[in-house]
């Protein structure tokens, strides 16, 4: 709704209020100005109508990945979602991430993501001569830099149906964010480790059925499915599902290339 | 999307079992190429004797079928539209249990690269057919059919070379791309095609059907192929 | 664990108690680097941070890490960097810190690379370095324009390999002391409101800055000066609090993003500032101090990007204080842009492809937040509160403060930047002094013997004090008070200051402080932002008072402190630092005389370093 004389408009918001026990949507109506984002309006609700409305945020510029929520059912960063996207009179729905346990209001317990991060084996850098430093070329580093843009907003984790709809998969599958991390280490030019068995057995890469919702919601524009997960699936196939390669490995009897345990 | 796929499957099944009107000199329908049975109207290579009584298309059609069914792009399409896991992003899965591609039968999708090898060979044959489509009994010519066949080959290559397995095999699997100049270039090229893999997937699919239809219409005499031949 | 502690457990069964050698407060670059070092030295270590791990304000750092690696210009070495830092800081920096920083930054950068950071490369495979204001050579190691994110993520993963324990979303309320040495840290969990007591032999403060005390700021909500206030109230000394850096280029439109940073890398990579007449006005503002090394014509400035040896640097790349003041004057003179800024133009000077490669997140930020395509249009920018040079006075070698067992690193500490920080020196600061403080704290802890005692009554008093806003019916809304404070500081203790405005501010701050202790936050203890805001407000006001108090005392203009009534630099004042100590009560609002202001002479540097500043030594 736009009032002609002031340029300010009013928006109706349905915000989920509650905690791990129970909750419901509460409607608020607040003014907003041209150029504002959803986080601005949520902050206005907080400053004027509901001082205890819980919401996470930090940078307000799409760089820290704190302000994730589901706006009208779509996982988004509140600080990068302009109000001008929603030109209408019906209320705008703002809900916490569904995949993680509710903590309070728009804040969820994203501890899962920190807990499983440790399952990806860390970088194992190649040694350099004393006093020397790595020579690294654009051809190698550019591929990895894309993955380093990740701001850990966990929107991909939230939208991924493997975690979202199947609670029991949470101990078998680490989610897209950590598969990106896996890819960034596997493709890192100074890394020497082989994480393919881990990818299959501990990280559950084969649970992904590449339906690409993670890529669609990624605010950092990382081609999660095409550039991280599928290439990793191919690497896992090299190691476990390619009969010719398995045979070749047998013949060369390299102990690390044998079939799965 | 689901509709498009469904329509194509219907047409392709029908065309495959027709076993006639798949050749209108010099055009060979891509569904029947390579035509390897002795019973072929136009034989690409005599690999199978005349004992092969059913449609010669059946000898090859499993290759594109397997290639596309295990294609990372089409997997997404049917997981979403037929399996409904998920029906759309942030919409709940239809089934309560889910094991993804970790078990039979879906784990078999991991053999995609072998279909890629076969599809690669097929693309060479298709290119040969496209070249042959400019050969009008020993004379160079251009017919509308030649152009359709050529487009078909180009689209098939664009689809095949942008395949994720291809991208992986030519260079993606390397830890250090910089150490292999040529493979780096190939990987770069494949990556460009790969970015539009879905687009090429659909256009090549549609075009193959269209090419078959065109050959069929010319062969049955419903339409005449406009052509210009150098004498 | 002392007897007092078990007593405390009985007293307040709900308080969670842990014990560590070293507790690091803050999980930005400095905090993470300190924790990594402390664990590497075998200290049992905890990290306490207000946000989730990996969200700290360091992710906002864009441009890069200044380190004289000499990858792009072989002539560059630590001495040149040292000289740039000292001159940029108007010779008020601690010479030893500037020296250590310049000497050690390259090692710290290479170490990050070893830990997985994916820096941009030069053509021959080394770490690429970019130009920045005040740096003689292209010196900033960078990852596109999101170097801070890269640094945080790299350190975060590195820390995850140690057994340091992280207390995410915990706010520290008070440092606990036992007879003039640190004995622990009292904090509460933001998510469920529980109090958590960490017994500690040594504490490292790495809490960042104070930006939220200003209206137009590049800072996030975390920047409430907690560390400054904690240190001060625990008995440590603060120094140079009047020096606040206003970054010349923040976004000015739309209003909701006003203040968000536009990296100096835009200018380093060829962008230029223009006023509404299209004039490159920076040529009108070259101070005599930098005249010798600054281009006097547009042609020379533009040629510098290609050939740095034969040309002098463009005035767009003068130190930040100079550029911010110039922009401020242009806007005041009515030559600003429609939304009250000036134009920053890279679109007409560099190809779209180059811009996208070098400044991808700037492109996205403007496209998505302001509907401006920076590859075709100029940006509108204006000064924004960015950094405080003042902070806890520390020992250069170990980061030790004047309070035994308390260490500090990063923005909360003082010394490296003098009166004005050079862009790119902050990330280096975090790494170099984060590591030193972590090592200093671990070494101190291992020699400290028994932990100090913690007084149960003091803890329960502090807890009660912290819970007060939840029950103080009739008190004011903390958000409103925060807004009032931000406006007050912005207009009275901002870029340009005057004695009458400062006096007014000090008076109002006392009033605000009284009211802040009455503030009321309805709701419970579980993730209640109103309550958090009420507590943070207390730190913000203490720190604001420190800034205003020092600003009154410094009757000259220098670096991040500009006085309308004393527009020039004063030689004598340039040789002293202002120090502050707390003389007020341990909890509750302070009293009139609670800030004790003293002075100390700026330390003289040794002869061989002083030689570097003799005329003719390069320019
Ligand atoms: S607040 Fe940082 S991403 Fe939204
Ligand atoms: S053909 Fe689509 S991925 Fe291989």
Dump pLDDT digits (tens) for C576-589.
999 999 998 877 77
Same domain, A55 and A125: no
**Beta carbons of C127 and C109 less than 8 angstroms apart:** yes
Residue A137 lies in a domain: yes
Same domain, A148 and A217: yes
Q: Is the pLDDT of residue A258 over 60?
A: no
Sheet order of strands, C65-66 included = C65-66, C140-141, C129-130
Which residues in chain B belong to E strands, given as ranges?
23-24, 27-28, 135-136, 139-143, 227-229
Q: Are B72 and A230 in contact (CB < 8 Å)?
A: yes
Give helix C95-114 / helix C78-88 axis angle, nearest 10°. Answer: 120
Pairing of strands A74-77, A68-71: antiparallel
Final residue belonging to a domain, choices A108, A127, A156: A108
Q: Look at residue A259 in the predicted model and tell me its pLDDT.
A: 46
Same domain, A95 and A213: no
- Which value does ipTM take for this structure? 0.93
Per-residue pLDDT, averaged over B130-158, amounts to 96
Residue A152 lies in a domain: yes
Give the domain range for residue A28: 9-108
User: Model confidence at C449, in pLDDT bands (50, 70, 90)?
Assistant: confident
Q: How many domains does chain A have?
A: 2
Same domain, A129 and A239: yes
Range of weakest confidence among B69-73, C9-13, C525-529 = C9-13
Cα separation, B83 vs B66, whole angstroms: 18
Which residue in A63, A79, A144, A195 has the most chain C C-beta atoms within 10 A of its own C-beta, making it the best mutation to test that interface?
A: A63
> C75-86: b or e for each residue (b if 16 or more CB lie within 10 Å)?
ebbbbbbbbbbb
Helix (H, G, I), strand (E, B) or coil at C9: helix
Range of weakest confidence among A70-79, B31-40, C549-558 = B31-40
**Beta carbons of A74 and A217 less than 8 angstroms apart:** yes
Dump pLDDT digits (tens) for A201-225.
999 999 999 999 999 999 999 999 9
Q: Is the pLDDT of residue C471 over 60?
A: yes
Dump pLDDT digits (tens) for B214-223.
999 999 999 9
Cα separation, C600 vs C598, whole angstroms: 7
Q: Look at residue B154 in the predicted model and tell me its pLDDT.
A: 98
The structural domains of chain C, ordered by start, are 246-385 (3.90.700.10), 456-601 (1.20.58.100)
Q: How many CB atoms lie within 10 A of CB A245?
A: 15
Query: CA B30, B32, B35: angle at the middle one, nearest 5?
Result: 120
Dump pLDDT digits (tens) for B75-102.
999 999 888 989 999 999 988 889 999 9
Final residue belonging to a domain, choices A51, A84, A108: A108
For A73, which of B90, B99, B111 is closest by C-beta distance? Answer: B90
Dump pLDDT digits (tens) for C343-386.
999 999 999 999 998 888 899 889 988 889 999 999 999 999 99
Residue B197 phi, psi (nearest 5): -60, -40
- Give pairs for B189-195: CB < 8 Å, separation 24+: B189/B161, B190/B161, B190/B162, B190/B163, B190/B166, B191/B167, B192/B162, B193/B158, B193/B159, B193/B161, B193/B162, B194/A226, B194/B162, B194/B163, B194/B164, B194/B167, B195/A226, B195/B162
Q: Which residues make Cβ contacts (< 8 Å) with residue B121, sequence separation at least 6?
A: none
Residue A230 lies in a domain: yes
B88: nearest Cα among B2, B4, B163, B9: B2
Q: Is the pLDDT of residue C201 over 70?
A: yes
Same domain, A117 and A239: yes
Per domain, the residue ranges of chain B are: 2-226
| DSSP sequence for C306-349 | T-TTTSPBPGGGS-HHHHHHHHHHHHHTT---TTSSEEEE-TTT
Q: Look at residue C12 in the predicted model and tell me its pLDDT.
A: 56
Q: Is the pLDDT of residue C570 over 80?
A: yes
Q: What is the 3-state secondary structure (H, E, C) of C351-402?
A: CHHHHHHHCHHHHHHHHHHHCCCCCCCCEEEEEEEEEECCEEECCCCCCECC
Identify which ligand lies nearest to the alpha carbon of A37. 1
Same domain, A60 and A129: no
Mean pLDDT of the residues in chain A: 92
User: Model confidence at C9, in pLDDT bands (50, 70, 90)?
Assistant: low
**Beta carbons of C40 and C242 less than 8 angstroms apart:** no
Per-residue pLDDT, averaged over B140-164, amounts to 97
Residue A23 lies in a domain: yes
C327: nearest Cα among C270, C411, C256, C267: C267
Cα separation, C258 vs C447, whole angstroms: 48
Q: Is the pLDDT of residue A71 over 60?
A: yes
pLDDT > 90 in chain C, percent: 82
How far is residue A108 from each of residues A76, A98, A154, A176, B73, measured CA to CA in Å?
14, 8, 11, 18, 33
Per-residue pLDDT, averaged over C221-242, amounts to 96
Query: Is A54 within 8 Å of chain C by CB?
Result: yes
- Quick check: CB of A79 below 6 Å from ligand 1? yes
Same domain, A144 and A167: yes
Ligand 2 centre to CA of B106 (Å) is 15
Q: How many CB atoms lie within 10 A of CB A260?
A: 11
Same domain, A148 and A90: no
- Quick check: CB of B112 below 6 Å from ligand 2? yes
Burial class (CB in 10 A: 0-12, 13-18, 19+), C351: exposed
Q: Cis (ω within 30 of 0) for the bond into B86?
A: yes
Per-residue pLDDT, averaged over C67-72, amounts to 95
Same domain, A37 and A69: yes
Q: Is the pLDDT of residue C257 over 90?
A: no
Mean pLDDT of the residues in chain B: 92
- CATH number reported for the structural domain that contains residue A18 in this entry: 3.10.20.30
| DSSP sequence for C500-547 | HHHHHHHHHHHHHHHHHTT----S-SSS-HHHHHHHHHHHHHHHHHHH
Same domain, A70 and A195: no
Residue A45 lies in a domain: yes
Q: Are A208 and B75 in contact (CB < 8 Å)?
A: no
Residue C168 phi, psi (nearest 5): -80, 150
Here the tokens at position C526 are: 């579980």
The number of C-beta contacts closer than 8 angstroms across A and B is 107
Final residue belonging to a domain, choices A66, A90, A108: A108
- Quick check: CB of B165 below 6 Å from ligand 2? yes
Q: Is the pLDDT of residue C477 over 70?
A: yes
- CATH number reported for the structural domain that contains residue A209 in this entry: 1.10.1060.10
Query: Is C529 within 8 Å of chain A by CB?
Result: yes
Here the tokens at position B147 are: 């152009």
C341: nearest Cα among C450, C250, C229: C250
pLDDT > 70 in chain C, percent: 97
User: Model confidence at C591, in pLDDT bands (50, 70, 90)?
Assistant: low
Ligand 2 centre to CA of B75 (Å) is 9
- The pTM of the full predicted model, rounded to 2 decimals, is 0.93
Q: Look at residue C122 in the predicted model and tell me its pLDDT.
A: 95
Dump pLDDT digits (tens) for B171-216.
999 999 999 999 999 999 999 999 999 999 999 999 999 999 999 9
Q: Are B110 and A70 in contact (CB < 8 Å)?
A: no
Q: Which residue has tokens 């609700």? A: A45
Q: Look at residue A3 in the predicted model and tell me its pLDDT.
A: 44
Cα separation, C355 vs C344, whole angstroms: 13
- Quick check: CB of B167 below 6 Å from ligand 2? no
Q: Look at residue A4 in the predicted model and tell me its pLDDT.
A: 42
Query: Is A31 within 8 Å of chain C by CB?
Result: no
Per-residue pLDDT, averaged over C110-123, amounts to 96
Per-residue pLDDT, averaged over C215-230, amounts to 94
Per-residue pLDDT, averaged over A163-173, amounts to 94
Q: Look at residue A5 in the predicted model and tell me its pLDDT.
A: 44
Q: Are A64 and C221 in contact (CB < 8 Å)?
A: no
For B177, which of A139, A161, A235 is closest by C-beta distance? Answer: A139
Mean pLDDT of the residues in chain C: 93
Which of C7 and C370 is assigned the larger pLDDT?
C370
Range of weakest confidence among A49-63, C2-16, C267-281 = C2-16
Cα separation, A238 vs A251, whole angstroms: 16
Residue A258 lies in a domain: no
Q: Are C113 and A64 in contact (CB < 8 Å)?
A: no
How far is residue C253 from each of residues A35, C256, C257, C296, measured CA to CA in Å?
8, 7, 6, 31
Residue A98 lies in a domain: yes
Residue A2 lies in a domain: no
Q: Is the pLDDT of residue C1 over 70?
A: no
Q: Is the pLDDT of residue A257 over 50?
A: no
Same domain, A131 and A233: yes
**Beta carbons of B65 and B31 less than 8 angstroms apart:** no
């Amino acid at each position: 709704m736009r009032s002609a004389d002031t340029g300010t408009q009013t928006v109706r918001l349905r915000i989920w209020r509650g905690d791990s026990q129970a909750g419901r949507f509460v409607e608020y109506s607040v003014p907003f100005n041209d150029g504002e984002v959803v986080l601005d309006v949520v902050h206005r609700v907080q400053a004027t109508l509901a001082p205890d409305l819980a919401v996470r945020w930090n940078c307000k510029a799409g760089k820290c990945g704190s302000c994730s929520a589901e706006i009208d059912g779509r996982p988004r960063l509140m600080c990068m979602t302009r109000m001008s996207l929603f030109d209408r009179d019906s209320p705008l729905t703002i809900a916490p991430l569904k995949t993680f346990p509710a903590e309070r209001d728009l804040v969820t317990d994203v501890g899962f993501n920190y807990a499983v991060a440790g399952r990806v084996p860390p970088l194992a850098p190649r040694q350099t001569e004393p006093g020397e430093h790595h020579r690294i070329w654009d051809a190698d580093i550019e591929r990895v830099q894309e993955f380093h843009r990740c701001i850990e907003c966990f929107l991909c984790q939230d939208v991924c149906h493997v975690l979202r709809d199947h609670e029991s998969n949470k101990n078998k599958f680490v989610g897209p964010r950590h598969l990106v991390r896996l890819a960034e280490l596997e493709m890192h030019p100074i890394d020497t480790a082989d994480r393919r068995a881990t990818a299959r057995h501990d990280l559950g890469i084969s649970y992904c059925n590449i339906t690409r919702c993670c890529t669609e919601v990624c605010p950092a524009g990382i081609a999660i499915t095409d550039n991280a997960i599928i290439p990793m699936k191919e690497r896992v196939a090299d190691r476990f599902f390619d009969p010719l390669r398995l045979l070749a490995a047998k013949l060369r009897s390299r102990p690390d290339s044998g079939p799965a345990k | 999307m689901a509709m498009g796929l469904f329509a194509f499957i219907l047409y392709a099944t029908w065309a495959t079992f027709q076993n006639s009107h798949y050749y209108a000199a010099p055009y060979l329908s891509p569904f029947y190429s390579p035509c390897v049975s002795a019973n072929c109207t136009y034989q690409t290579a005599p690999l199978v004797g005349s004992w092969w009584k059913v449609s010669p298309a059946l000898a090859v059609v499993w290759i594109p079928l397997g290639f596309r069914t295990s294609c990372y792009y089409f997997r997404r399409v049917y997981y979403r539209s037929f399996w409904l896991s998920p029906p759309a992003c942030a919409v709940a899965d239809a089934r309560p249990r889910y094991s993804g591609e970790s078990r039979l039968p879906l784990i078999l999708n991991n053999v995609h690269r072998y279909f890629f090898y076969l599809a690669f060979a097929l693309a060479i044959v298709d290119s040969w057919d496209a070249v042959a489509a400019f050969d009008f009994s020993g004379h160079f010519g251009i017919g509308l059919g030649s152009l359709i066949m050529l487009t078909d080959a180009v689209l098939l290559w664009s689809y095949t070379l942008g395949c994720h397995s291809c991208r992986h095999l030519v260079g993606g699997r390397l830890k250090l791309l910089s150490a292999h100049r040529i493979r780096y270039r190939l990987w770069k090229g494949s990556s460009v095609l790969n970015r539009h893999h879905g687009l090429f997937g659909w256009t090549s699919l549609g075009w193959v059907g269209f090419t078959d239809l065109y050959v069929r219409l010319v062969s049955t005499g419903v339409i005449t192929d406009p052509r210009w031949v150098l004498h | 664990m002392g007897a007092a502690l078990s007593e405390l457990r009985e007293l307040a069964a709900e308080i969670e108690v842990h014990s560590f050698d070293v507790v690091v407060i803050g999980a930005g670059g400095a905090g993470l680097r300190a924790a990594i070092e402390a664990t590497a030295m075998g200290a049992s270590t905890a990290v306490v941070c207000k946000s989730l791990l990996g969200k700290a304000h360091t992710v906002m750092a864009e441009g890069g890490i200044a380190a004289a690696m000499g990858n792009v210009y072989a002539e560059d070495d630590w001495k040149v960097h040292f000289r740039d830092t000292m001159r940029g800081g108007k010779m008020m920096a601690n010479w030893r810190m500037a020296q250590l920083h310049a000497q050690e930054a390259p090692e710290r950068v290479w170490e990050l690379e070893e830990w997985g950071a994916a820096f941009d490369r030069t053509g021959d495979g080394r770490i690429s370095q970019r130009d920045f204001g005040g740096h003689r050579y292209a010196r900033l190691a960078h990852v596109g324009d999101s170097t801070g994110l890269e640094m945080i993520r790299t350190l975060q993963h590195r820390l995850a390999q140690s057994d340091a324990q992280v207390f995410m979303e915990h706010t520290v309320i008070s440092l606990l002391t036992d007879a003039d040495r640190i004995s622990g840290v009292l904090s509460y969990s933001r998510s469920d409101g529980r109090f958590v007591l960490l017994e500690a032999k040594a504490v490292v403060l790495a809490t960042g800055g104070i930006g939220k005390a200003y209206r137009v700021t590049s800072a996030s909500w975390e920047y409430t000066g907690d560390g400054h206030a904690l240190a001060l109230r625990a008995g440590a000394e603060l120094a140079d609090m009047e020096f606040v850096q206003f970054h010349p280029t923040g976004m000015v439109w739309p209003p909701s993003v006003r203040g968000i940073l536009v990296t100096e890398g835009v200018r380093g990579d060829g962008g230029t500032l223009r006023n509404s007449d299209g004039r490159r006005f920076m040529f009108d503002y070259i101070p005599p101090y930098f005249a010798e090394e600054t281009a006097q014509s547009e042609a020379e400035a533009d040629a510098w990007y290609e050939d740095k040896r034969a040309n002098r640097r463009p005035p767009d790349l003068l130190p930040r204080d100079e550029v911010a003041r110039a922009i401020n004057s242009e806007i005041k003179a009515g030559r600003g842009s429609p939304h009250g800024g000036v134009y920053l133009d890279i679109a007409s000077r560099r190809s779209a492809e180059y811009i996208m490669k070098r400044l991808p997140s700037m492109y996205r930020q403007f496209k998505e937040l302001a509907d401006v395509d920076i590859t075709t249009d100029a940006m509108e920018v204006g000064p924004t509160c960015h950094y405080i040079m003042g902070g806890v006075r520390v020992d250069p070698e170990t980061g030790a403060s004047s309070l035994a067992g308390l260490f500090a690193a990063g923005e909360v500490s003082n010394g490296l930047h003098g009166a004005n920080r050079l862009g790119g020196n902050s990330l280096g600061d975090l790494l170099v002094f984060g590591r030193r403080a972590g090592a200093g704290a671990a070494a101190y802890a291992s020699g400290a013997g028994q932990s100090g005692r913690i007084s149960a009554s003091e803890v329960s008093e502090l807890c009660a004090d912290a819970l007060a806003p939840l029950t103080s019916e009739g008190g004011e809304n903390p958000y409103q008070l925060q807004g009032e404070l931000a406006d007050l500081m912005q207009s009275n203790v901002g870029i340009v200051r005057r004695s009458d405005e400062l006096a007014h501010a000090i008076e109002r701050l006392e009033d605000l402080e009284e009211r802040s202790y009455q503030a009321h936050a309805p709701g419970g203890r579980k993730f209640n932002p109103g309550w958090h805001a009420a507590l943070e407000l207390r730190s913000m006001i203490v720190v604001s008072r420190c800034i205003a108090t020092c600003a009154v005392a410094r009757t000259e203009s220098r670096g991040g402190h500009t006085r309308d009534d004393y527009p020039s630099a004063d030689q004598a004042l340039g040789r002293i630092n202002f120090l502050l100590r707390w003389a007020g009560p341990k909890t509750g609002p302070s009293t009139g005389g609670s800030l004790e202001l003293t002075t100390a002479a700026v330390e003289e540097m040794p002869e061989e370093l002083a030689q570097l500043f003799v005329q003719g030594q390069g320019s």
